[in-house]
């Protein structure tokens, strides 16, 4: 027996009006209430036919847009070439700033030889790279032991931060990236400053 014939027979047996038909989703073959007699194409089931509820309407599923990858600070700064250029300019600036006293004259003197300066710059690039999401690894000593005994003051640290800001301005680094980098550098203050 095909489906149309079956529903017509059931409609007759259950007393559904002519223009309506019995729906096979109703669990009882003999409907006690006319709610089982629904117009064709409307899914039935209520009151006496509660065992199968119509499927709730749901919004058509729209695939979520792919998550956009947020560029790391390192990438936004311009990658290795940009970080190297920043470190170059910054070290030169800080080394020549008496308010920083980078070589620690009169305290724990550091020789600004070509080799020492080159090593300092390489380690700074690696440190900044590693802290901003670049591929570099920093393998040097931690900030506290590196600067121990240098008697660096809060004012000297502030002057160094000012030099970094001047370098970032020179390279037209946008304010957002400047703020992010200054925050990272500023987070070392507690380990570097010995004289508050
Ligand atoms: C007023 C502040 C600072 C002064 C005067 C200063 C001074 C120095 C000096 C003299 C050295 C050489 C030490 C040595 O090789 O024995 C050094 C090393 C280093 N400093 Fe600073 N520093 C200051 C702040 C900072 C800050 C803010 C950072 C990074 C966030 C930093 C990162 C480094 C690194 C990575 C080295 C190791 C270089 C190497 O291994 O050759 N310094 N610092």
Reduce the secondary structure of 91-135 to three states and give it as a string.
HHHHHCCCCCCCCCCCCCCCCCCHHHHHHHHHHHHHHHHHHHCCC
Residue 12's pLDDT is 47
Any domain includes 77 = yes
Indicate whether 104 and 22 sit together in one domain.
no
Is the Cβ atom of 127 under 6 angstroms away from ligand 1? yes
Instruction: Compute the distance between CA of residue 168 and CA of residue 162 in angstroms, rounded to an integer.
Output: 10
**Residue 167's pLDDT is what?**
98
CA of 45 to the centre of ligand 1 (A): 78
Q: Is the CB of 192 under 6 A from ligand 1?
A: yes
- 60 domain-assigned: no
The answer to whether residues 193 and 152 touch, using CB atoms and an 8 Å cutoff, is yes
Supply the pLDDT for residue 78: 98
> Structural domain of residue 29, as residue ranges?
3-49
Long-range contacts of the stretch 161-168 (C-beta < 8 A, 24+): 161/185, 161/186, 163/90, 163/93, 163/94, 163/97, 163/100, 164/90, 164/94, 166/93, 167/86, 167/89, 167/90, 167/93, 168/86
3-state secondary structure of 37: strand
Per-residue pLDDT of the chain (196 residues; tens, 9 = 90+): 454 444 444 444 444 444 444 445 544 444 444 455 454 433 444 434 433 445 566 777 888 888 888 999 999 999 999 999 999 999 999 999 999 999 999 999 999 999 999 999 999 999 999 999 999 999 999 999 999 999 999 999 999 999 999 999 999 999 999 999 999 999 999 999 999 9
What is each CA distance from 196 to 57, 101, 118, in whole angstroms?
66, 16, 30
The answer to whether the CB of 146 is under 6 A from ligand 1 is: yes
Residue 11 within a domain = yes
Question: Atom 25 (ligand 1): residue with closest C-alpha?
Answer: 192
Q: What are the residues facing 37 on neighbouring strands? A: 22
| Span from the CA of 42 to the centroid of ligand 1 (angstroms) | 78
User: Domain total for the chain?
Assistant: 2
22 lines ligand 1 (CB under 6 A): no
Cα–Cα distance for residue pair 11/18, rounded to 1 Å: 8
Residues 41 and 82 in one domain: no
Atom 2 of ligand 1, residue of closest alpha carbon = 157
The secondary structure of 39-73 as a DSSP string is -TTS----GGGTTSPPPPP-PPPPPPPPPPPPPPH
Residue 53: predicted pLDDT: 47
Q: Tell me what pLDDT residue 145 has.
A: 98
To test the pocket of ligand 1, the residue of 83, 92, 97, 120 to mutate (highest count of ligand atoms within 8 Å of its CB) is 120
142/120 Cα distance (integer angstroms): 13
- Ligand 1 centre from 166 Cα, in Å? 18
Closest-CA residue to 195 (of 145, 157, 165, 159): 157
Question: d(Cα 159, Cα 152) in Å, to the nearest integer?
Answer: 11
Verify that 179 and 112 share a domain, yes or no.
yes
One domain for residues 37 and 82: no
Check whether residue 149 and residue 83 sit in a common domain: yes
Ligand 1 pocket, residue 48 CB under 6 Å: no
123 lines ligand 1 (CB under 6 A): yes
pLDDT of residue 34: 47
């Amino acid at each position: 027996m095909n489906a149309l014939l079956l529903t017509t027979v059931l409609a007759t047996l259950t007393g559904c009006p002519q223009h309506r038909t019995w729906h096979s989703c109703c669990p009882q073959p003999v409907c006690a209430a006319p709610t089982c007699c629904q117009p064709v194409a409307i899914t039935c089931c209520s009151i006496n036919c509660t065992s199968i509820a119509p499927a709730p309407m749901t919004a058509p599923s729209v695939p979520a847009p792919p998550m956009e990858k947020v560029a790391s600070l390192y990438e936004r700064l311009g990658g290795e070439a940009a970080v190297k250029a920043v470190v170059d300019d910054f070290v030169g600036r800080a080394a020549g700033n008496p308010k920083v006293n980078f070589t620690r004259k009169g305290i724990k003197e550091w020789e600004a030889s070509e080799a020492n300066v080159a090593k300092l710059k390489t380690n700074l690039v690696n440190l900044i790279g590693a802290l901003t999401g670049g591929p570099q690894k920093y393998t040097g000593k931690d900030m506290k032991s590196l600067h121990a005994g240098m008697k660096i003051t809060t004012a000297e640290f502030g002057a160094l931060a000012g030099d970094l800001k001047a370098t970032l301005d020179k390279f037209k680094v946008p304010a957002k990236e400047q703020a992010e980098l200054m925050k990272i550098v500023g987070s070392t203050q507690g380990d570097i400053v010995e004289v508050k």
